[in-house]
Each structure stands twice: as C-alpha cells, then as structure tokens.
Amino acid sequence: MNQPIRGYTLVQWLGSGGMGEVYQAIHDTTQRTVAIKLLSRLEQAERFRNEAALQASVRHPHVALIYEFFVEGQLPCLVMEYVEGPTIQQTLRRNGPMSEQSAWKILGQLASALDYLHSREIVHRDLKAGNIKLTREGQPKLLDFGLARQTNAPRLTRQGHVVGTMASMAPEQFSGVSSAASDCWALGVLFYEMLTSYTPFGGSTESEIGRLIQKADYLSPVKLNPNLSRASERLIQKLLTVSPERRLTAQQVLAIIQEPSRLDIPDWMGPMQKWWKKIKS
C-alpha cells in the first residue's frame, strides 16, 4: 500500500465503519504508529468534524486519543491513537465467554470512561463489543465517536431519527431519544456478552429484536453460563431496565464494583420518583 497522506504513510487496512475506512499508518518524521480514518461519504463531513472535536476534547485512559484532524484533497482525515489488539467482539468469537473477574474489571474501566464522558455531557450512542479494543495488557479502549453527541450541541440527525447499532440500542432509542442512560443500557448488553458470548436480544429479524428490547425480554445469562454469580445476574437486571430513570448510572456501576453488596439494596427509587411527580402535579 504505502500511500502517503499529509506526512503519514498508510501501511495496512484495519477495517471500515459507518463513515469511512480505517488504516494503520506511520508518521514519516516521528515514526509514530497511528490509525487514520478516511471519510468515504462527503455528505457526512459535518458528523466527521463532530467526531474529531468531541474525541479530541476527551482525555481518559480508556478512550482512544485523537491526534489531529485535517482535510487532504477534499478528503477529511482523522488521526487517532493506534490500539494494537483485538476488539472485545473478536476476543469473544475466538475464546468464548470471559471469566467473571475479567468481565467485572473491564466493566469497571468502561463505566469509568462513561462516567467521565457523561460528566461532560457527552453521550457515545454506539457502545458495543466491536467498538472497544483490548490492548496487550488487556486494557479496554473505547473507539469510534462517530455517533457521539454533546447534550447541548446542534442535532446532526432528525428529531426522532434512530441512531445506533440495533442489538445494543436501549428501548428509548427506538423513539429517537438518546441519553447517558442509553449508554448504560449498552454497557449492560456488553456485560451480558462478555459473560456469555451471546447478545441478550437475539431475534431473527430487526423487528423481533426491537420488540424484545422494548420489553427487556432476554434469556437469563445463567441459562448460558450456569456458573455466573447472583451479583452478575442482578447487575445485568439493573442495567437492562426499560425505564431510563430506574437504570443504573455509570457512577452507580462504579460504586457497585467497589461494594457489590449494594446490589441487594431494595429498589425504592422508582416508587419515590412516582410519588414525587404525583405531589408536584
């Protein structure tokens, strides 16, 4: 290949996403290895710029870095940290389910990344096993901010337009509503996958998958992995909850990982919220 672009030499194709192709590249002067995403659809240029700006503002050990963004011959290019290693999706396909210890560790690291993003009012909107790479040390790195959105930023999709990956979408996303809670639903889907190597909502058609998601109708993970602890099963239940208001936040997931006994605390928040709405109206 060895194609030069603005001081970088493309050396290997890594894959493609919704908006472009990704290549491994080497900076000609510093010899740093990077990943470069090249936009394939010019009409998506505004979303591409949005991805560059959002991800460049983020500094977290479990989010891949953005180095620079430029336009070369009308071709927008995003230069990112190169993460050597497989995605979680590739790891599960190759090795099957992870140990609970590994899954909980990765869950905590990603919850930390989401808590950081959500505190800056950034919603990722496409958290999934294929968008997270594992380094040689087994550390997860969240990639692909192509669908991410800052809460108060202008919309790049029509109101009510569905964005995301079907199998990881939260019920409210089918109505075009995305929030930090939607990312936490996707975290629950990912946790289920890491522990079973199956997606929780595996219908044969998109409409069937959508119907199962909107009812949170999934096969108990214990049926697929009989050795799972009650804590893992309960944590999945609290993330794959239809109501966004009753779903665990990333911060709450972190607190549970520190102290799993919190999972046995009665869920009194839902009734309290209904009571509060009632007396306010």
Helical (H) or strand (E) element with 140: strand 140-142
The reply to whether 126 belongs to the active site is: yes
| Residue range 88-263, CATH number | 1.10.510.10
How much is the pLDDT for 145?
A: 59
| pLDDT of res. 77 | 85
Cα–Cα distances (Å) from 132 to 38, 103, 135, 280, in that order, read 19, 13, 10, 42
Q: How far apart are CA 273 and CA 130, in angstroms?
A: 36
Q: Which ranges in 166-268 belong to alpha helices (H)?
A: 180-196, 206-214, 221-224, 230-239, 250-258
Tell me the pLDDT tens digit for each residue of 59-84: 899 998 888 888 887 788 888 899 99
- Decide: helix, strand or coil at residue 172: helix
**Spatial CB neighbours of 108, under 8 Å, sequence gap ≥ 6:** 253, 254, 257
Considering the chain, what is the average pLDDT of its residues? 84
> Which of 7-21, 126-140, 148-162, 256-270 has the least mean pLDDT?
148-162
Q: Please state which CATH number belongs to domain 3-81.
A: 3.30.200.20
The active-site residue, picked from 126, 183, 264, 267, is 126
pLDDT in tens, 170-184: 999 988 888 999 999
Pairing of strands 122-123, 149-150: antiparallel
What residue spans in the chain does CATH classification 1.10.510.10 cover?
Answer: 88-263
- Report pLDDT digits (tens) over 241-275: 999 999 999 999 999 999 988 887 666 555 545 55
Residues of the chain with CATH 3.30.200.20: 3-81
Q: What share of the chain is helix, strand, coil (3-state, %, to 5)?
A: 45, 20, 35
pLDDT of residue 1: 63
